[in-house]
Amino acid sequence: MDESSTTKRLVDGEHCDSLPIDDRGLAYGDGVFETVLVAAGQPVWWTEHLARLRHGAARLGIEAPADARWDADAAKLIEANRSPSPSVLKLILTRGSGGRGYSPQTAVMPRRIAQLGPAPVIDSRWRRDGICLRLCDLRLSIQPRLAGIKHLNRLEQVLARAEWNDAEIAEGVLLDIEGNVVCATAANLFIVRDGRVLTPSIENCGVAGVCRAHLLRVTSASVETASVNDMLAADELFVCSSVRGILPVVALGDHRWSIGPVTRHCMALLANTSPAFADHAH
């Protein structure tokens, strides 16, 4: 497919590869985003992604566009880029242009950005054989006003992800400044112990992942505080995201796990949601 001949990016519904310099998304990270897996021409968990985007925008006081606008953007991009392989649709909503300084009152028109790109390459062994994690040095700050929102202020994740450049390490575990386990850099974390399934709270920091929310709905998993020791004492460990699905964890530093029955059960639940999550090779 010729990159230049197809529409990959829309700004307010029109083909456009650039953004005005005075957009507050650039100036302050003043906006929210979603990354949506598109498999067999269908955005996976589309309703849930749009709901989270609306909810995050509301918490920041940004007026979200009608879902029908995003529907139209998605349809236009997917239609123009038919592909047998999965892709990722990234939505960004910024508060728009304007305002001198931080006050958001003068920014009148939120800006809608949609772009389609290839899905991240997942090593085919990761789902089958599990992944290795590292424990990141960076500690997440505690900010209940922003916690859970998939907003554009992501320097903590950038710094954490910059800690390693070893292709054998797929993800990094993030603790908050109090030492609680929170999540991975671009995924949520689930801990299986003594037959119970739990995922850390994202009330203080972290992102309320769409895949995490799905698993909380369709399993008996609960939200609990977890220490590093809780994580290391786990019977099974896995990370999940709406783009990569579930990746079983088999190593963190010197600790080793095998892929257990709860993880396999959750992976099967996801494969029922979309065949993309059953495909080892994408």
The CB-of-13 to a second copy minimum distance in angstroms stands at: 14
CA distances from 227 to 177, 182, 183 (A): 12, 9, 12
Distance CA 96, CA 106 (A): 10
Q: How many residues are recorded in the chain? A: 282
DSSP bridge partners of 115: 9, 90
Answer for which of 38, 77, 113, 211 binds a second copy (CB under 8 A) is 113
Answer for which of 4, 5, 84, 145 binds a second copy (CB under 8 A) is 145
Residues whose CB is less than 8 angstroms from the CB of residue 165 and which lie 6 or more positions away in sequence, other chains included: none
How many chain residues bind a second copy (CB under 8 A)? Answer: 55
11 scored as a contact of a second copy (CB under 8 A) = yes
Distance CA 63, CA 66 (A): 9
Q: Which stretch binds a second copy (CB under 8 A): 157-165, 193-201, 209-217, 256-264?
A: 157-165
The CB-of-245 to a second copy minimum distance in angstroms stands at: 15
3-state secondary structure of 181: strand
Distance CA 99, CA 96 (A): 9
3-state secondary structure of 162: coil
Q: Which stretch binds a second copy (CB under 8 A): 70-78, 91-99, 191-199, 263-271?
A: 91-99
211 scored as a contact of a second copy (CB under 8 A) = no
Distance CA 32, CA 214 (A): 20
The CB-of-248 to a second copy minimum distance in angstroms stands at: 20
CB nearer a second copy, residue 157 or residue 274: 157
Residues that bind a second copy (CB under 8 A): 9, 11, 16-30, 33, 60-61, 92, 94-95, 100-105, 113, 115, 117, 120, 138, 141-143, 145-146, 151-162, 165, 177, 185-186
